[in-house]
Amino acid sequence: MTTPLSLAVVGHTNTGKTSLLRTLLRDSTFGEVKNAPSTTRHVEEALINDGDDSLVYLYDTPGLEDAGGVLDWLETHTSARDDGIERIQQFLSNHEAHHEFNQEAKVLRQVMQSDMAMYVIDAREPVLDKYKDELTILSWCAKPIMPVFNFTQNQDLTAWTNMLARRTLHVYA
C-alpha cells in the first residue's frame, strides 16, 4: 500500500483552479464555479482513488489575492537571513495571517501540509509582478511547484515560460 500524494492546487484568483479540478475529477459538481474573483473561500478536499487504493488527495484553495502585500509583510517583519520556510511560518503565526491576509494564509498553510503544489496560470494574462510575487512566496514553502497553464488556446506562452525558467521552473503542463 502506498501513501497517497497530497497536491495543493493554487494560483491567483479566477484562474480556473476549481474548473481544472472538476476536469481531473470528472465531477461537474465539485466546488463552486463563477466568472468572478474569490469564489472559493475555503480549502476543499477531493480524492482520486483506484478501487480500494487512495492515490491523490487534491486540495482546491482560495485564490491568492494580495501576494504583494504578504511579500511586503515578510520583508518588513522577518529576517532575510532566515530560510523562506521560517519566514512563512512566522507569517502564519502572526495576527495578519488570520485577518488581513486570511485567504493567502489558507493557501500557504495548505501548501505547507501538501507534498507539492500545482500553480494554475491563466495564459490570457500578461506576466505581471503580482504573479512573480506569488511564485516567490510559494517557493518559500519549500515544496515542488508544477505550473499548469489554463486558457491556452491561441496564446503565446513565451513570456510566461521565460519568467518561469528564471525561477527554475522549467517543466510545466
Which one, of 97, 132, 96, 111, lies nearest residue 60 by Cα?
Answer: 111
CATH 3.40.50.300 fits 5-166, yes or no: yes
Q: Is the pLDDT reported for residue 1 higher than 70? A: no
pLDDT tens digits along 131-148: 999 999 999 999 999 999
Cell reading at 32: 463552486
Cell reading at 59: 486540495
Amino acid at 62: P
Question: Which residues are registered as beta bridge partners of 12?
Answer: 64
Q: H-helix or E-strand containing 69?
A: helix 67-77
pLDDT tens digits along 87-113: 999 999 999 999 999 999 999 999 999
* Sequence spans of domains, the chain: 5-166
Which one, of 39, 104, 113, 136, lies nearest residue 30 by Cα?
Answer: 39
